[in-house]
Amino acid sequence: MLDNLKNLMWLCTAVSFCLGAVWFTLDSNRLYETAVNNMIPFVQNQKVSLSSVGGISGNEVGINKAANTYSGLQILHGFRGWTSEGAEVSVNGTLIPPEDENAEKPGEPYDQDLRFALTLLDLQGDYEAVTLLDGQGRISKLSFFLR
């Protein structure tokens, strides 16, 4: 009689562990699905950005004709990142000189490069981007043209 009771206790323990594992798995799956469903609206509205390295070989150096569309505000936001990676940025054929960190004079305003970019950009306008890549696949020049 005692062996039967002991076996019944082990069986109940094993069944409760299995049910607990199934319940935990289903709950984790529900939380994961909720997180993914809540993230979808944010991911769908994001834009693919220009990357600094495009995996190309040396014989494919040249102009990348696959143009992207950017707003003026996106160009203004990405300007410092592109220039810090060594890219020259031009808007409608006018080259925007990068900020010279060593030329801080008392009379010159800070962010002079961004102020110059603001004079060239229409922040609500759509611009088409054309990239020029160097031999290592990095962006050497970005040209934006108003559509």
The set of residues, in sequence order, having a beta carbon less than 8 Å from that of 119 and lying 6+ positions away, is none
Q: What pLDDT score does 58 carry?
A: 38
Q: For residue 74, give the 3-state DSSP assignment.
A: helix
Mean pLDDT of 55-71: 52
Q: Which of 19-23, 40-44, 127-131 has the highest mean pLDDT?
A: 19-23
Q: How many CB atoms lie within 10 A of CB 11?
A: 10
Start-to-end Cα distance in the chain: 88
Kindly calculate the radius of gyration of the chain based on its CA atoms and give it in whole angstroms.
Answer: 28
Among the residue ranges 21-30, 51-60, 125-134, the one predicted with the least confidence is 51-60
Joined tokens for residue 70: 């950017």
Joined tokens for residue 116: 């110059």
The phi, psi pair for 61, rounded to 5°, reads -70, 140
**Greater model confidence, 26 or 67:** 26
Best CA proximity match to 93, nearest among 130, 134, 139: 130
